């Protein structure tokens, strides 16, 4: 087996001088769907923020290799250009920036960084319409301002739409299932499943198991108190659903 697409080794990180990640080890191969589950306060959002490169998180030890590169040394936009996508738990509202313009600007910024030619507006629109249809999203989404006035479900679907358009090699979905009703969950899951292919890795970060009923993971990792406490297959998620996180909580 070749080198995993994503390798996290002994990752330690602090927020406001408080250590939250206490030595994470995790590998995700291309083609794999890995679920990271954990109770509140276990470090899930810190992990996703560190991987995305948000300010305010201090990495004190360890490393993250992505496709043979030092991910932590890269600016957020460099991570995006090299194929890393973060679907945020709380997508930001940006009034005044039209969704279509934003998504095409992002796509072309990434393509430019990779030395590829820009996609023109017409080709972009063609692809965007097809993707929207697949996600059961109205074309109106393209004309609306980015997430402005969107419902929780619409924001999450907009993240999936962007993911589909940007075609990342590594997608990290941070609590994408939170706040979704059952129909929205099914649509989001369909969108995520459509992304599965042998070249691409997906990391699904979630508190609950319910998204994993639709997006069946290849591996499941339990994050507790800043470490991967246990790893397993899909059965582990089901076990957590029955027994809860009690066994992983600090006494």
Smallest separation (angstroms) from another protein to the CB of 106: 4
Within 8 A by CB and 6+ apart from 9, the residues are 25, 62, 63, 64, 65
Instruction: Find the binder of another protein among 1, 16, 17, 95 (CB under 8 A).
Output: 95
Smallest separation (angstroms) from another protein to the CB of 190: 22
Would you say 88 or 124 has its CB closer to another protein? 88
Q: What is each CA distance from 249 to 47, 171, 207, 225, in whole angstroms?
A: 18, 28, 14, 8
Would you say 57 or 248 has its CB closer to another protein? 57
Residue 100: φ, ψ to 5°: -65, -45
Would you say 96 or 198 has its CB closer to another protein? 96
Q: Does 141 bind another protein (CB under 8 A)?
A: no
Smallest separation (angstroms) from another protein to the CB of 17: 20
Smallest separation (angstroms) from another protein to the CB of 97: 5
Q: Does 62 bind another protein (CB under 8 A)?
A: no
> For the residues of 63-116, what is the DSSP string, one character each?
EEEETTEEGGGS-HHHHHHTTEEEE-SSPPPEEEEEHHHHHHHHHHHHHHHTTP
Q: Does 188 bind another protein (CB under 8 A)?
A: no
Q: Which residues of 85-95 are buried (b: 16+ CB within 10 A; e: fewer)?
A: bbbbbebeeee
Smallest separation (angstroms) from another protein to the CB of 83: 10
Q: What is each CA distance from 156 to 76, 92, 159, 230, in whole angstroms?
A: 20, 11, 5, 28
Smallest separation (angstroms) from another protein to the CB of 207: 22
Q: Do residues 64 and 72 make contact, with C-beta atoms less than 8 angstroms apart?
A: yes
Q: Does 57 bind another protein (CB under 8 A)?
A: no
Within 8 A by CB and 6+ apart from 233, the residues are 217, 218, 219, 220
Give the binding range for another protein (CB under 8 A) out of 2-10, 13-21, 89-97, 124-132.
89-97
Q: Does 206 bind another protein (CB under 8 A)?
A: no
Instruction: Find the binder of another protein among 102, 208, 214, 245 (CB under 8 A).
Output: 102
Q: Does 88 bind another protein (CB under 8 A)?
A: yes
Give the binding range for another protein (CB under 8 A) out of 53-61, 116-124, 191-199, 236-244.
53-61
Catalog residues that contact another protein under the rule CB under 8 A.
52-55, 75-77, 79-81, 86, 88, 91-92, 94-97, 102-103, 105-107, 109-110, 113, 145, 162, 166
């Amino acid at each position: 087996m070749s080198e995993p697409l994503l390798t996290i080794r002994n990752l330690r990180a602090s927020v406001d001088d408080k250590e939250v990640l206490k030595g994470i080890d995790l590998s995700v191969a291309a083609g794999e769907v890995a679920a990271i589950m954990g109770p509140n306060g276990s470090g899930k959002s810190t992990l996703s923020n560190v991987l995305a490169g948000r300010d305010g998180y201090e990495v004190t030890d360890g490393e993250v290799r992505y496709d043979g590169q030092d991910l932590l040394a890269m600016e957020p936009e460099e991570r995006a250009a090299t194929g890393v996508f973060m679907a945020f738990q709380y997508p930001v509202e940006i009034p005044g920036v039209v969704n279509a313009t934003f998504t095409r600007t992002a796509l072309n910024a990434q393509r430019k960084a990779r030395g590829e030619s820009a996609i023109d507006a017409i080709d972009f629109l063609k692809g965007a319409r097809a993707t929207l249809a697949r996600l059961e999203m109205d074309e109106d989404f393209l004309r609306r301002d980015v997430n402005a006035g969107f419902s929780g479900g619409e924001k999450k679907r907009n993240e999936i739409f962007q993911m589909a358009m940007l075609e990342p090699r590594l997608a990290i979905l941070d609590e994408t299932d939170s706040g979704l009703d059952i129909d929205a969950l099914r649509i989001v899951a369909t969108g995520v499943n459509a992304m599965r292919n042998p070249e691409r890795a997906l990391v699904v970060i979630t508190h609950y198991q319910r998204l994993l009923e639709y997006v069946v993971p290849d591996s499941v990792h339990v994050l507790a108190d800043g470490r991967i406490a246990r790893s397993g297959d899909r059965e582990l998620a089901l076990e957590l659903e029955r027994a809860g996180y009690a066994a992983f909580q600090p006494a």
